[in-house]
Amino acid sequence: MDGCILTPDGWIDGKLHFDTGTGRIGRIEGTPASPATPFAAAGRPRIVPGFIDLHVHGGGGADCMEGSAALRAMARLHAQHGTTSLLATTMTAPRAVLDVTLAELGRVCREAPGDGARVLGIHLEGPYINPARLGAQPDAAAVPVRDEVLHYLSLAPVRVVTLAPEIQGDLALIALLAERGIRVQLGHTVASYEQAVGALEHGAAGFTHLYNAMSPLLHRAPGAVGAALAHARFSEVIPDLLHVHPGAIRAALRAIPRLYCVTDGTAACGMPDGDYKLGSQTVNKCLGAVRLADGTLAGSTLTMDQALRNLVAIGLSLADASARVSRYPAEYLGLGERGNLVAGAFADIVILDADLAVAATYVEGRRVPA
């Protein structure tokens, strides 16, 4: 394919070749392109790494708590918006529900991607969260028990766990999960600054939808947000410009070097206004937002291509915005073969037109049907 290619060393105007039959990038050839080059005027498509969404619940009318067919459907919808790999994100739910769901979703994680995004694993959002900061999570928050946690881990490849560190037993849980290479994120929490810093010292690695459903930064009580801004290297943020004010995103960009985007997308992504399922709850999509009946924001309708456009709209360069939807989430999970356009990496690629709309997506070298 031909165009302006975003590589780790900057833009190259040239050609990207697939390594036939392997799903990987063969070689990239061309000449360095100046960031000032007017790509649009030259009519050259921009070729960027596929997007990696580490927090997404649904899309295309499907919610992954409904099982494997729903997960495949949401992976298709998000691939059409440039997402080439994702973590299926579960809702807080009773053990009997999580048992069935994780076993179902675990099967899809072991499949080839088909015509959707690669499902890299599971993001367990709860159940070990604070019942005082549920956000849109149902009231099934629980205190962790070691055997139950190990049981969940045996059902599916869990890569990320969101928990509230102030819940009794969670510090020990953080250490246990971190030892197994699982990224522990603080979220749905009323943790004090000190409790959040304690969690980071026990191995927590990130923060879940920074600012939303967590103790805010007050100047004498810096809370979980203060701990994130003062200490985090990685954190999620939802850049739909409804969950977080652009000024708060800019503040986080100055403080957290590897701030990366997630959609927290729901079944309502890519769908008309109306009612949708979010786990066991019903949510309503209207004016680009998804809410519970009481008005609480309940996930989003965001897709990763819109996240990229929103970052550019608030002032980021396309290269910086791209890193925050592809390279940094890959780095966070230690995925050396994704998130960068380099020879030997998976051919996870998005082609953007002059308006930064997705013209084509390739997942491991296969073009996603429109």
Distance between CA atoms of residues 311 and 290, nearest Å: 21
Residue spans of alpha helices (H) in 36-118: 39-42, 68-80, 95-109
**Which residue, 118 or 123, is less far from Zn ion as judged by CB?**
123
**Which residue, 33 or 141, is less far from Zn ion as judged by CB?**
141
Structure tokens at 283: 């949510």
- The reply to whether 63 sits near Zn ion by the rule CB under 5 A is no
Count the site residues for Zn ion by CB under 5 A. 2
Query: Residues with Cβ < 8 Å from 36, sequence gap 6 or more?
Result: none
x-marked contacts with Zn ion along 255-294 as a string, rule CB under 5 A: ---------x------------------------------
Rounded least distance, CB 300 to Zn ion, Å: 9
Interface with Zn ion by CB under 5 A: which range of 7-15, 124-132, 216-224, 324-332?
A: 124-132
Distance between CA atoms of residues 206 and 200, nearest Å: 8
- Name the residue whose CB lies closest to Zn ion: 264
Q: Which residues are the active-site residues?
A: 264
Report how far apart, in Å, the C-alpha atoms of 169 and of each of 79, 143, 155, 164, 265 are.
Answer: 38, 7, 22, 10, 30
Interface with Zn ion by CB under 5 A: which range of 108-116, 123-131, 223-231, 283-291?
A: 123-131
Query: Residues with Cβ < 8 Å from 290, sequence gap 6 or more?
Result: 266, 268, 276, 278, 283, 284, 297, 298, 299, 300, 301
Rounded least distance, CB 89 to Zn ion, Å: 5
Interface with Zn ion by CB under 5 A: which range of 60-68, 109-117, 122-130, 220-228?
A: 122-130
Q: Which of 120, 128, 225 is nearest to 176 (CA)?
A: 128
**Which residue, 249 or 352, is less far from Zn ion as judged by CB?**
249
Give the interface with Zn ion as residue ranges (CB under 5 A): 125, 264
